[in-house]
Homo-oligomer: A and B are copies of this chain.
Amino acid sequence: MIRTEKILVQTKGENDIVNVTDIVRAKLAKSKGRDGFMILFLQSTTSALTIMEFEDGLRIDIPRAMSRIVPKSIEYEHERAYHDGNGHSHVKASMIGADLVLPFKDGELLLGTWQQIAVLEFDVRPRERSLIVQIITE
């Protein structure tokens, strides 16, 4: 059985990270799925989806590391056509990725103790993101 839904996730701007673990867990609970997996897919090219320990330090460290690796201050060809100042955001998003697959069993997501599901906003302004949640059960 396959059930597909969309969650809207509001971000606060560049380098904001939103913890979506609780809302994703609530979707699983509502589906009453016992054994199966969830597909999460973020419909965006300037934000990304990852697993992290969601704590105040890493909420700074992860975006800071990405900004050191893909600096905003250098020139991007993307700007020549678009002039929207987010060339670096696209590069970061394509490096991290937009999809996640999460197994569950007995109705519980099989996340490790410290694992949380996070939407990383890399774009230069607040955005409302569409997160597809697909729940697959036997």
Hey, which bits of chain A sit against chain B, CB under 8 A? 1-2, 4, 35-37, 39, 41-45, 50-53, 55-58, 60-62, 64-66, 69-70, 76-82, 87, 90-91, 93-103, 105, 110-115, 118, 130, 132, 134, 136-138
B97-A43 in contact (CB<8A) = no
- Protomer copies: 3
CA distance A136 to B103 in the complex (A): 11
Interface of A is mostly: mixed
Q: Which chain B residue lies CB-closest to A87? A: B61
Q: How far is the CA of A3 from the CA of B131 in the complex (A)?
A: 26
Contact with A65, one of B91, B130, B136 (Cβ below 8 angstroms): B91
List the B side residues contacting A112 at CB < 8 Å.
Answer: 42-45, 130
**Contacts of A134 on B, CB cut-off 8 Å?**
37, 103
Please tell me if the beta carbons of B55 and A138 are within 8 angstroms of each other in the complex.
no
Task: Write out the residue numbers on chain B whose beta carbons fall within 8 Å of the beta carbon of A45.
Answer: 51-53, 112, 114-115
A112 to B41, CA, bound (A): 10
Min Cβ gap A112→B in Å is 3
Name the B residues within 8 Å of A102 (CB-CB).
41, 99
